[in-house]
Structure 1
């Protein structure tokens, strides 16, 4: 069996899974793959980020650790929804065949099938992308297929195989212009496309860039002077580059046992194992020469040559040489540095069916030239720009909202053809724009999404013959290019905005609204004529209402007997009214005393303090939407809708809202303690230090709020923005989850995940959700794990340093591995905590932030573990109060968390409760 990039190489080895974990942080990116094993902690997390390692064809949700590299691999079902999983034929499986090559995903249907990956580093960063293919006669047809592979909308490579055991590696260094990286397999009519493995690596610097900035396709990566003949890759190479052994004719070798770049790493971060060997001419008086036969005279090649001096030259000795390629001098007087790597690149691209390298000894040199390693790339310009990012975001949101299952994968407009139901503009090499969307008879339900308003070039929209409800939104009439709108055959209701009628009358818009019996197309809308039943109904309805009112009043009196009338709904204890209500803007002005006191700010607007003017003077917090908040209105609507249906003692309560068309506000119960973020910073001395027991109780409170959202709500709700600033504390330091503007409700309770655009906060965002757009309750679990780490350490989610920023997980892991609890726990506690409780809480937090979501616990399990932590701390305090006579000392404490054991037991046994 042989392996190749563009030609044969030794067998493919499995790709490592670099476990680094967060996302694009302000200056230095962290990784998205967090290891659960101690071995993973030993990896150099600062060497690589944004790693995605996929074993294509694994069963849904499956993971495993490669026995050779101890790297976790994941299935590809989070990145693609089409295709068929298969195993290669048993006759092609041997003991030395890497596990990732034993399965594959094939695509017998569709002209193009695309993997969608979202690396944490985002767009405009340098990525190494590698795709691996082994046919292995998986389909028993013994027929070698041929097909194309695209990166986004541009062709990357054409796949051909020498035989069924031929392993082909394709590698490209690419800077994606969009947030997603799409890898598409295109059927060219010569067999069914398939893929065995797919990896993405991120480079921190701009080392691998051509002069033009075009992508670089790997042609050769060679390790000169290799004594073992092995392929060198991770973990010898932190970036998992694959170095193939190469020894030229009439060349000798030179090596050292010392480490190269042991003091300072270069930007290329070359593996010492590669650089500690080199080749030199057998005759020291002759040049070092070798030739690569490309057979492609029209291709542009880019060269990287790597050197390191391996001999400790004595005084008067020197190694100086010139480098020529195809007769053109690339560099003169090259002097390798002892045990330190140097890289020389070609100043411009080189063409030729053969690449002739000549390294010539200088006149004053006492030693011959050497070469340690060589990389040759083909410059592959990507001329076609992808679809406009705003259009991509809009259509992806529409896809998520309606759950479209039409094989919508990859770029909406290319390659080959657009998504089913879409038409796109052809702007030459400029970005595609979506100009037509046809979702007729697609089984759509719900309202028309506002994301349609972002398709500014849309000319034709057809949503007919579905079950769409709600009103005809005004924003559709504001689409500047819309010429045809068909909303017929739905369940729309209410008046049609006059702007639609005007455009239809003047011929600028072809409008179809037939088949919506509840839709009013006249202005003003006419009421239906009274019928013979009206007098009867007019008599029955008042009697029914009166009877119902008596029943409600009787039931209310029974339920409130013995209770204070002003007690809030669901034992919130804040004196709030039983029912939320609508407030006018003038009332908001009075409640806030003309917006006198600001208690918070955000991207949505400002939060003000106020008092209800209903005689109770109940304190409230009023979140007022800023007119400049572009997406705030949608989030406000989402938050208001959710708050009316969720009720729990650990969720911030909803008092009411204001929406007069111009001013939008939401009123909450006032949380006098502020948000948790203000209490946990080791650098903030302005607030009192939370005790260890307080931290545990706050953690438990917040966990119970999330447990209710995930388990107590039917269907479940994912918060999507769990962080310390969204955990509020009341005057008794009880914690409550707040800010539900980004929350997502699962439309069907049985759904295991939602495919939706990524939102959240840097440092808390689940890396799996970020890379796959696959949202589950475990995304909240990850964010909550970061909150737990902050409660333990007193550190922010992103720790700002002098030279780089560090994610709290990366900061904590080395200390955890060493068992250094002293330097882990917030120093302001001065050691006043139970060690067993602290380790237990650390274990819970680490289990929550595992990179693979299925390895994280459910929130009900987290709640159970946190109760044990709190029990351990309480037991520790009680034992500390026992005096020398064995009696329990009486303690008077104003601490709101000091409670009798019986009261505490009742409190802790409460699960998610709906009211």
Structure 2
């Protein structure tokens, strides 16, 4: 059932929030001091800060150096709360901005110290870099990288001779960069009081609003998408309705069919602006609006269909159906209700709302509204497999015909209930305490109806012609507590429940399971008890009907032409045949067809395709389980295709191959023999070197160069004797890797650490050691392991890390090191989401991209609560510039995880890490090692199994089927994309993070839907009359 809004459904203007830009500049500077600064008065504080500043990695300048670098502070470029900012240039030509503290500044030593420490700890391409600082008796200064184009404020205000205004594209890009997720992560742990965090926070807020505009099309109300259907091109940017206070956008972005119309002039009076236009769909059986969503999030969707005789036919019998995805939602009638509302949990990044022509007339729609709900709202009734259709929602005792936004933050419609002579209206101005699960608006809870006397029964009845399973919520709050108000409440056909409304607090009574009412009658009955001193009362109620997803109402006419699907045992259909013949397709054939892993027949005949047939399709075609049809020629892979240079004759190819083999094989044999001799000779030399003098000690010049570099890092340098003490003489070995053994230790302050000691047999030398120290000094992220310090003495190399108490992901998947309990699917996906975020930071969050080169389950460490962190940076490589496309370096990594493209070409890119991470994903899916003797690589094993279309053949048997099938499929699909043969075909880690979060949301929704409550639980705010249990999928 839908509901009618009525001709005068107006709203109060909502309050609005405006982001006021902070009037602070980026740069600050010196005054020649005539007195000793305030910060010089606390010598103990100075000594304390000075000790800590010695540990930071940034350069410490003298005041004379700053005078020289700025040419005696010649070029003033800005002013702020700290002081003035001057342009300068380092000895190597690097441009800098020197911020000098003014005597009149309110910013003292604490703020200065906080900024130096904070910017030393954070490194991100969208955070300004601290080059160094100056701290002498009379002078405080900070030295930053120079930002040549000034501030965003300069460009928006036209200050500092900024001539040309920023276009919209540039503005959006700027705030998106400023609002990167990692910036928020970093500043959540940094408490600076200087201007940068404030400015970054303002940009972050603005960026979040702009991102909402980009992805959800709404402007004005965060979490709202309001689509005015049929709006013409004159309103391409939308409008704000002054009556509703809501911003509407046109529907062209969300639907690709239909015709625009306007309602008849004699029907416009008293209507909202969004009711005056409609989009109709005379063509096609099923036309859908694609609404942007986030998988796992909860939404309210509302369709308003005001006929208004837009077609001049004055039809009263027009009918069509609404579908939410593939599930039947409701039937729209031109002479019936206008408002159709549902709530659902999103299952993907978009949700289709479809109008289906059932033969009763042309479907039409006036507006479509999408509202984001809180994660706990209507929990646990609203779940992934339980969408709800609104049947009725009433505000009892109110004089307002419809109450909605801004009083209701989710813009639910609360209709006034028609009065009855057996009850009277109550109201209060007191505040009613909210219930977080339902968030009933305060004005709704401040009114109620009360029976006319203590002998009267309140009975509210609503009839549903189609008699669906229903859920009823009754909301009650008493406005007095001096006398007992007690009654039995019966919802539909449930047993009566003794109840007293809580005083000034929102109480809820609901049916705790979906109930099928007798004769389609939904009833709420309130009958007073003999002990009650006051008659029963009711503030509001809602009635929902179930939109089942486990048995969707769908018909053969809903299916797509040219697509055939399988019906495997786990109820997950896979596409087995795709007929795209005579579809007017142009261009090359995509390699992505191979992603349809269960595909048996692909017909591309009758199109204008050109270019080569991808090798992957040809290989699949030669297996005998797949048929590719192209221009009615079944032997397509040996046939010249239009637009391609013809292949040489097969005989010529064979002769060329024989010639190549006869030359290459002898040459390769000679090369192998020479290499074997050189390796043997080098090994003999190493054996003659005394063990007390490791290889890294041979070159004192190289050692001095590396030591100079290590002096610039911020981490603590340990002595070997300190490590002996910390580890209790290396008594507890907790692991082993390519570098050497790892020992448990504990610092003086109780901090647990892991000490990784280099073994003399290790293939990792000084270069790998130095790379790891320098890399982990430059990167800081919650999903990257933290380096506490290092040891470098003549005979010893060691790295000291934070201790990750739960071992590695590898341990948990293999059952090693006491990790006996199998990780649940939810935990596995959460772990790889966190690991993916760490890799994404290395690739896109650092000043220059860092490639890990050794991503594997052994290098994903788990801490308390199984938080994941990437470890072992000994093989990592850093780009030299932003324009660099790859690094040419000898292949290195771990067997089974190494990118085959990198292995064969020596060209290292971020996609090499993506490949390795794809293997990790397949490990969490299967629980198996990448390489199994006699069975090949995990990528091939998984591809072979999923050809059958049954995910249970791939999933780790130890999970015992406890996973969301769609979530599992999504991870498998992502993994196969990551492990594509060609690096350019792989996704970025940022895209992988997004997809994995969707998979996690699907699994969390499944797991949460299994929540069970207690029978007959009673509290002062919520009552359940039976037990919740998991619903069938």
More helix per residue: 2
**Which has the higher Rg, Structure 1 or Structure 2?**
2
